[in-house]
Structure 1
């Protein structure tokens, strides 16, 4: 049976580290790297993809060249995606992946998909295809590689982190609804034009009867008010202080390894977007 090996790159830390790890530990595999582009990624994501391609020595295939977020927003009557209706994950991540591999699977090829779920993420599971000849592998979990291990892999490779990790904890759409309040506040600071675009999408959705706003319980217009922004930043700092106090037992722990999943709880995320 013919074999293919594929690895999805999200533009984030873990999937990039897995690409590096597989190149170093299984150089004999001809791995196809792919990125499902929503058309609404942070500019830092594209810059990091370029750096990663340089290290891997081969291109990362871009899926979704034609049907981006704007196309599917129209298809869904201008209703925003949300944790309750994650049409963005379905239409912009999962379906393009399935369409790409469908001919090979139909021809009976064995597809090996490598997913960057770490050993410290017991609560996460990989994509389940239902196809006998599509096998999902979790190399980090098998090798016992956790978040600190991922950081070590990227540093040793000379890649470091995508620049957005200065202010945001995960990849995905610029205006992903899974962002924390503090990340929306920082998006306003880092990319005000993208924040304004998100506001326009939100207003248009509300005008069309969408029950959802990007951030739970308030619109971006409400969130960007100076008093509200100050409150969000104060609340975030209080959470950080509590986390630092709990971490004092480990003198080796540092703020550099703290991300918002740790501060706010990992919750339920789109595994195809954020790895």
Structure 2
């Protein structure tokens, strides 16, 4: 039985840290690193992946599905994906991965898939294997590596954080519906063309009767109004300062402001949640 070892990269910090960890601790494993490209990623994601390739000393395999986002949007009658109907994750991430490994499984090979779920994420689960020869492995959970441990791996390797973590908490599509409103506001500031594309998708969806907008409770046209943007920035800074004031100090890991990130500041009605395979 031939064995295949694969590790999916999202362009985010956790999966990159896992790739670093596996390279450092299990160099004997011939791991194939892959990225499922939706075609709607931030340019900073590709820059980060190129940097990671240099550390790993091998190419990251880009898996592109047979159909892009625009094709699937038409198939779903221009209804936007949402937390309730995550067709984007299914069609643009999971299906291409399953097609990629299918020939191996069909010929009786064993596939080990390494997933970056941390030791401090008891609430998360990886892809549930639906094939007896596909085994999902969670090295961070097995070896007790938590979020600060991920930061340590990225810093000590010289890779650091992706540049978009300065203003955004996740990789994935520029118009991910799990973004907070502050992330939409910053997308407009940093990548106005991507914001305009998202607005156009939203307008088409609304004209087609879609019940969803990209962000809960308001359209991007309403969100981008100057007075609304000012309120979003003000509310975020207040939440961030409250989180900093509440954060306990660990004597073994001195408090660092950079660990108070957007991902720590979710509101229940504002972008809470995530698609594991997209942003980890």
Taking structure 1 as the reference length, the TM-score comes to 0.97
Q: Could you list the per-position Cα deviations for residues 227-247 of structure 1 after superposition, in whole angstroms to 9, with x for gaps in the alignment? A: 101111111111112111111
Q: Could you list the per-position Cα deviations for residues 62-83 of structure 1 after superposition, in whole angstroms to 9, with x for gaps in the alignment? A: 1115422112112111111000
| CA positional deviation for 1:250 | 4.6
Give the secondary structure class of the aligned counterpart of 1:62: strand
**Alpha-carbon distance between aligned partners in 2 of 1:132 and 1:65, rounded to the nearest angstrom:** 24
Q: Which residue of 1 aligns with 2:275?
A: 270
Uncovered stretches (5+) of structure 1, i.e. residues with no partner? none
The answer as to whether partners of 1:69 and 1:92 remain within 8 angstroms in 2 is yes
Taking structure 2 as the reference length, the TM-score comes to 0.95
Q: Could you list the per-position Cα deviations for residues 57-103 of structure 1 after superposition, in whole angstroms to 9, with x for gaps in the alignment? A: 11111111542211211211111100011000000000000011111
**Alpha-carbon distance between aligned partners in 2 of 1:36 and 1:56, rounded to the nearest angstrom:** 18
| CA positional deviation for 1:28 | 0.4
* 1:154-233 correspondence to structure 2 within 5 Å: 154-233=154-233
Name which of structure 1's ranges 230-239 and 182-191 shifts more when overlaid on structure 2.
Answer: 230-239
Q: Give the number of aligned pairs.
A: 275
The answer as to whether partners of 1:37 and 1:68 remain within 8 angstroms in 2 is no
Instruction: Check if 1:254 corresponds to 2:278.
Output: no
Q: Which residue of 1 aligns with 2:148?
A: 148
Instruction: Check if 1:28 corresponds to 2:28.
Output: yes
The answer as to whether partners of 1:69 and 1:88 remain within 8 angstroms in 2 is yes
Q: Which residue of 1 aligns with 2:97?
A: 97
Q: Could you list the per-position Cα deviations for residues 186-241 of structure 1 after superposition, in whole angstroms to 9, with x for gaps in the alignment? A: 00111011001100010011111111100000000000001101111111111112
The answer as to whether partners of 2:65 and 2:92 remain within 8 angstroms in 1 is no
The answer as to whether partners of 2:65 and 2:96 remain within 8 angstroms in 1 is no
Instruction: Check if 1:51 corresponds to 2:56.
Output: no
